[in-house]
């Protein structure tokens, strides 16, 4: 098998073609074209076709997200440095958006320690204080406590997110946190069950960004 002449773009293109072909055996007629692209990018990241069943979209999730990303004053808030690193900075720059992660801020660390809560909880509270008047997309790939606190802040009318990407991975409070977000008055993209992670959060966010930014111009 020769790979000498395959660029990263070629490999991605071939991978997406394989995914497209294999998706023909699944019933995904309910997905709109953008939802399908998001699903394909998640499968490309994971090689896991279980996301056909696990990846759930609220009715207006994509429309709300794309509208926010065209606002030129939007902000993406993540719960991990990994997600912060992986989300396309070129696309963010072109779309004039901002991305923030507060979990390593000294005030967040100090407050979390004094209150006996996770840094993710305090980071969500800080984001809401700073950005309640802006179009915010929350991208949560690691901490179920972030989703739980975000649910509470939405329920308290402290924030109306443009979108919540809720895909933490693990065993403790993971399923419950996702169910809470799906019951909240907000638009969401959620990976139902235990599966997820920061790489999934990044793939979903980038899939949305790439709807508005042509990567071929890089």
Cβ neighbors of 138 (< 8 A, separation 6 or more) are: 76, 77, 78, 124, 127, 146, 150, 161, 163, 164, 165, 166
Which pLDDT tens digit goes with each residue over 172-203?
999 999 999 999 999 999 999 999 999 999 99
Domain spans in the chain, listed from the N-terminal domain onward? 8-217
- Across 99-117, average pLDDT: 98
The pLDDT value recorded for residue 214 is 76
What is the C-alpha to C-alpha distance for residues 152 and 119, in angstroms, rounded to an integer? 16
Distance CA 205, CA 165 (A): 8
Reference 196, options 55, 3, 34, 11; nearest CA is 55
Instruction: Note if 64 is an active site residue.
Output: no
Mean pLDDT, residues 65-90 taken together: 96
CATH second-level architecture of 8-217? Answer: 3-Layer(aba) Sandwich (3.40)
Query: Beta strands 136-140 and 163-166: pairing type?
Result: parallel
Strand ordering across the sheet containing 136-140 = 55-57, 188-191, 163-166, 136-140, 75-78, 98-101
**Average model confidence (pLDDT) across the chain:** 95
CB 65 within 8 A of CB 208: yes
Catalytic residue among 30, 44, 64, 217: 44
Q: What are 22-32's pLDDT values in tens digits?
A: 999 999 999 99
What does the pLDDT look like over 197-216, one tens digit per residue? 999 999 999 999 999 987 65
- Picking from 216, 191, 192, 193, the residue whose alpha carbon sits closest to that of residue 204 is 191
Instruction: Say whether pLDDT at 86 is over 90.
Output: yes
Residue 119's SS3 state is: helix
Q: How confident is the model at residue 218 (pLDDT cuts 50, 70, 90)?
A: low
Residue 210, class by beta-carbon neighbours within 10 Å (0-12 exposed, 13-18 middle, 19+ buried)? middle
**CB neighbourhood size of 161 (10 A):** 26
pLDDT tens for each residue of 154-168: 999 999 999 999 999
């Amino acid at each position: 098998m020769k790979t000498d002449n395959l660029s990263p773009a070629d490999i991605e293109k071939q991978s997406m073609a394989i995914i497209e072909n294999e998706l023909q055996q699944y019933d995904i007629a309910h997905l709109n074209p953008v939802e399908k692209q998001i699903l394909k990018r998640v499968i490309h990241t994971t090689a896991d076709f279980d996301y056909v069943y696990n990846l759930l979209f609220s009715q207006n999730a994509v429309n709300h997200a794309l509208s926010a990303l065209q606002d030129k004053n939007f902000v993406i808030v993540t719960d991990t440095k990994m997600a912060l690193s992986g989300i396309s900075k070129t696309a963010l720059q072109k779309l004039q958006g901002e991305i923030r992660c507060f979990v390593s801020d000294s005030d967040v660390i100090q407050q979390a320690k004094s209150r006996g809560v996770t840094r993710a909880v305090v980071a969500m509270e800080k984001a809401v204080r700073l950005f309640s008047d802006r179009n915010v997309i929350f991208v949560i790939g690691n901490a179920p406590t972030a989703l739980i606190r975000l649910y509470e802040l939405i329920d308290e009318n402290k924030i109306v997110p443009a979108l919540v990407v809720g895909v933490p991975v693990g065993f403790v409070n993971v399923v419950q946190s996702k169910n809470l977000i799906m019951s909240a008055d907000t638009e969401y993209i959620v990976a139902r069950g235990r599966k997820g992670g920061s790489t999934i959060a990044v793939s979903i966010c980038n899939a949305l960004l790439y709807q508005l930014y042509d990567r071929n111009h890089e």
